[in-house]
Amino acid sequence: MTRCGFVAIVGAPNAGKSTLLNRMAGAKLSIVSPKAQTTRFRVLGILMQGEAQILLVDTPGIFAPRRKLDRAMVAAAWTGAEDADLTVLLVDARAGLTDQVRAITARLKGTKRRTWLVLNKVDICTRESLLPLTQELHDLVRFEETYMLSAANGDGVSDLIAALAAAVPPGPHLYPADDLTDIPDRLMAAEMVREQVFLQTHEEVPYGTTVETESFTERADGSVRIDVTIYVARAGQKAILIGDGGSKIKAIGQKARIALGQALDRTVHLFLNVKERSGWDEEGARLRAIGLDDPDRG
Ligand SMILES: Nc1nc2c(ncn2[C@@H]2O[C@H](COP(=O)(O)OP(=O)(O)OP(=O)(O)O)[C@@H](O)[C@H]2O)c(=O)[nH]1
Ligand SMILES: [Mg+2]
């Protein structure tokens, strides 16, 4: 009997949701950085485990949003949870029960949906801290199951996969067995560039940036030419992104091209263009370009 179901991974920013998705899927599908609010939209990872197809949904971290962009991100996270057969609350065990985690549990508590607790980053925690944290969280939400793991080094991840394979409902598979995700290559290209912006710039620059693929052209030799625009909110951010003599944008392009070549499994010619566009983070069209719904339109 085949099984298939959506499993949404929700949690505070920086809990390690994208790292866990990539680890479980065995491929880099969702971008990761040490900075909070890296993921901006839902990312699907398709995982085959015996007869089961687990449709993992990575979501943006949930926090108190202000900008339209932030509100759209948080809405996408909750929609991911509401559309799923099962929700995994991922908690950074070292950070513990923060106000952000508390706020998420308050909302999860009200749902009748199946919810599991997963404590992450056990590689940087003391064992003694894990049980009291589990207890505190169980006092807030009725979790069906609890797992402890390290998404970074993989410890404990196979147990979670096996349990999810048994827990998703019976039913036909929704995707071909060898698909890894449904993310279009154009969006993957923009994301790999945005990841480098998150890794190579600091303070407000990553948050002032959005990335869109303008053109994606296959060449006769099997390689692909990709033109990407990086929008920034302010002139100062543009100067930082370009760097002295173009050094920063060059470094961003080099790293992104390598990651993208691996993701697409072909030679990539990547061209980056930086444009200033103040207020992009309040623009519905910029949000739709990355697959987010405008939170101010019903
Ligand atoms: N030590 C350790 N670090 C981890 C682990 N899992 C993730 N990290 C690190 O935590 C940071 C955040 O990881 P992400 O996967 O981007 O976190 P996220 O929950 O997707 O974050 P947002 O997309 O911003 O909500 C990165 O620096 C990861 O390398 C883990 O198990 N152990
Ligand atoms: Mg993420």
CA–CA separation, 100 vs 135, rounded Å?
A: 18
pLDDT at 213: 98
Q: Say yes or no: CB of residue 100 within 6 Å of ligand 1.
A: no
**Res. 112 pLDDT band, cuts 50 70 90:** confident
Q: What is the rounded average pLDDT for all residues in the chain?
A: 97
CA–CA separation, 244 vs 148, rounded Å?
A: 45
For 277-288, the pLDDT digits (tens) are: 999 999 999 999
Which run of H or of E encompasses 96?
A: none
CA–CA separation, 38 vs 209, rounded Å?
A: 11
Q: Does residue 298 carry a pLDDT above 90?
A: no
Q: Say yes or no: CB of residue 87 within 6 Å of ligand 1.
A: no
Average pLDDT over residues 142-171: 98
Task: Give me the percent of the chain exceeding a pLDDT of 70.
Answer: 100
Q: Does residue 46 carry a pLDDT above 80?
A: yes
CA–CA separation, 176 vs 49, rounded Å?
A: 13
**Res. 297 pLDDT band, cuts 50 70 90:** confident
CB 157 within 8 A of CB 149: yes
Q: Say yes or no: CB of residue 53 within 6 Å of ligand 1.
A: no
CA–CA separation, 225 vs 38, rounded Å?
A: 26
DSSP state of 210: E
Average pLDDT over residues 115-127: 97
231, amino acid identity:
Y
**Res. 110 pLDDT band, cuts 50 70 90:** confident
pTM of the model: 0.98
User: Which of 9, 10, 14, 89 best tests ligand 1's pocket when mutated (most atoms within 8 Å of CB)?
Assistant: 14
Our CA angle for 198, 296, 15, nearest 5°, is 35
